[in-house]
Amino acid sequence: MWIAYKTIVIKEVRRFIRIWIQTIVPPVITTSLYLLIFGGLMGGRIGQMQGINYIDFIVPGIILMTVIMQSYANTVSSFFMTKYNNSFEELLVSTTPNWIILLGFVSGGMARGFCVGLAVTFTISFFVEIETYSLLIIAATFLLTSIMFALAGFINAVFARTFDDISIIPNFVLLPLTYLGGMFYSIDILPSFWKALSAFNPIYYMMDAFRLGFLGVGSVELWKAFLVPLSMIIILALTANALLNRGVSIKTE
Amino acid sequence: MPLALSTENLAKTYSNNLEALKGINLRVEKGDFFALLGSNGAGKTTAIGIISGLLKSSSGEVEINGLNQKNHSNEVKKMIGLMPQEFNFNPHEPNIEILINQAGYFGIPRKDAKIQADVLLKKMELWDRRFDVAQSLSGGMKRRLMLARALMHKPTILILDEPTAGVDVEIRQSMWQYLTQLNNDGMTIILTTHYLEEAESLCRNIAILNNGELVEQSNMKRLLARAKRQVIIIDTVEKISGPIEISDCDCEVIDENTLQVSQGEGISISDVVASLLDQNIHVSHLRSSQNRLEALFLSLTS
């Protein structure tokens, strides 16, 4: 099983490295633009957020957004393509158990989230001096976030029938939730209604924990910030595994 | 002879209510070269899909080398190598990686998989293209790549769904030779093909599916012996001036130098040639107008 897992992960990593122009370069360019516009040009006028310079305040959010989008994008596109070109049959006829297939694809998503997140962090370091408050919190938040969104991407791919179906969720759900999860602002500045609504956005908790890891400031208790994604991971993992076991959209009924 | 594959009332009804298989009982002996024939939509690919684990059956059982497929899923999968009809690999992946990954999915370490991949790539004459991506290969090369992939985990039963479709004559001959060699080495091979001469020359036993039902399961020689009438086309040296009569045969003059003879039961080709000679007609060339298996196939499936 370990060999099968390793095989899937190696295949996934090679895949996103092979198409680095599509997977690594665009987020790096987007990040540079975010920092230039929101940090460099507008940041000075905005001043401080939670007692932190605005350009420093948005850095954790930009990195986490990259991790979210890339982890999701890797599993959704890779798994959908295996369905599209029928190469998933290579796994179906093999002895690889479904949970290893899931674990392999999720690990591939995490690897891409990590690699692109690292590339983005490196790019940011040219604009800002990056501080770290707790590497442990940063690592834990990265792990939980990338696992959760890689799983979500996998489930999206299971149900996707066309290429449009794999871009709807990232564009119309993930991106708005990321922006509204406190990427560019502190939830504390919102009116009470919107603040209460933000509590239903899981990205808000991850964003807060990630920012705590970098800057030492946060609005949510740490245990709660970890519990939310952890619960989501359990639900998503069980759902994804059940879908695979039932052969939804991979075995003709 | 022990069985490599047996199915018991294997049935499949798709969600659109299409009854692709209506309870078939297949028997394939160990070491056999077995032809599974049927016209398009007969249920061959569905049967293969269920046997290899790609599809769920609606009812019935499959046993591979005496093991129930449902109860011994992993052991059964290890015994089967599948070369499907449609290309089903990532076209952007290098050919050698496709092979090594397939072995990895069966738990074979990368180092061992590399050795096996090298052997098979050379055998399939794909060695020079091993680092190219699969989409750059020709149709025939892709088929050979899929055959190599099916053999990566050293299965004991090889299932080939239209293995030589789109493959040129030369490569087809070499594939036949290789498959015969695998079979001689003890591998059970189940072949579906539309080239009936391929099935006739390679396979010892045969099953014919029609509309999801097994209409024939027999030894190839016994089945061919049932082809009572054979139609032959005869080119003559002399021009044919009038009607030709050969006892117990139906003769039809196609043109002044060509004759079609439908051989009657018990009439040999020598009898036909001798009869023509009696009528001062020399045979320059003769050929079968229709493959015997093809004639039987059509009679069983029409």
The beta-strand segments (E) located in chain B are 3-13, 19-24, 27-29, 33-38, 59-64, 67-68, 80-83, 157-161, 188-192, 205-210, 213-219, 231-236, 250-255, 258-262, 283-288
ipTM of the shown complex: 0.86
The model's pTM is 0.82
Which residue in chain B has the smallest CA separation from A93? B53
Where would I find the H helices in B185-245?
A: 196-202, 220-225
A3 closest CB neighbour out of B89, B97, B104? B104
Per-residue pLDDT of chain B (302 residues; tens, 9 = 90+): 789 999 999 999 998 888 889 999 999 999 999 999 888 888 898 999 999 988 889 999 999 999 999 999 999 999 999 999 888 999 999 999 999 999 999 999 999 999 999 999 998 889 999 999 999 998 888 999 999 999 999 999 999 998 887 777 888 888 888 899 999 999 999 998 877 778 888 888 989 888 888 888 888 777 777 665 677 888 888 888 888 888 878 888 888 888 888 777 677 888 888 888 888 888 888 887 666 677 667 767 76
Contacts of A96 in chain B (CB under 8 A): 105-106
Least Cα separation, residue B156 to chain A (angstroms) = 14
Within 63-92 of A, beta carbons closer than 8 Å to B belong to 81-82, 85-87, 89-92
Where are the domains positioned within chain B? 3-225, 231-301
Q: What is the pLDDT of residue A253?
A: 58
End-to-end CA, chain A: 27
Does B88 touch chain A if contact means CB atoms closer than 8 Å?
Answer: yes
Nearest CA in chain B to A9: B101
Neighbours of A144 (CB within 10 A): 22
Residue in chain B lying closest to A100 (CA)? B105
Contact A95 B106 (CB under 8 A): yes
Question: A222-246 vs A135-159: helix axis angle to the nearest 10?
Answer: 30
Restricting to A residues 109-168, those with a Cβ less than 8 Å away from any Cβ of B are none
pLDDT in tens, chain A (253 residues): 889 999 999 999 999 999 899 888 998 898 888 888 877 777 777 777 778 888 888 899 999 999 999 999 999 999 999 999 889 989 999 999 999 999 999 999 999 999 999 999 998 888 888 888 999 999 999 999 999 999 999 999 999 988 889 888 888 888 888 888 888 888 878 888 888 888 889 999 999 999 999 999 888 889 989 999 999 999 999 999 999 988 887 766 5
The confidence score (pLDDT) of residue B239 equals 85
Query: What is the structure's pLDDT at A188?
Result: 79
A6/B107 touch (CB, cutoff 8 Å), yes or no = no
CATH, domain B3-225, list 2.60.120.10, 3.40.50.300, 3.30.1180.20, 3.40.710.10: 3.40.50.300
CB pairs under 8 A between A and B: 80
Minimal Cα distance from B100: which residue of A? Answer: A7
Q: Helices A54-84 and A202-215, interaxial angle, to 10°? A: 130
CATH of range B231-301; options 3.30.160, 1.10.3470, 3.30.43, 3.30.70:
3.30.70
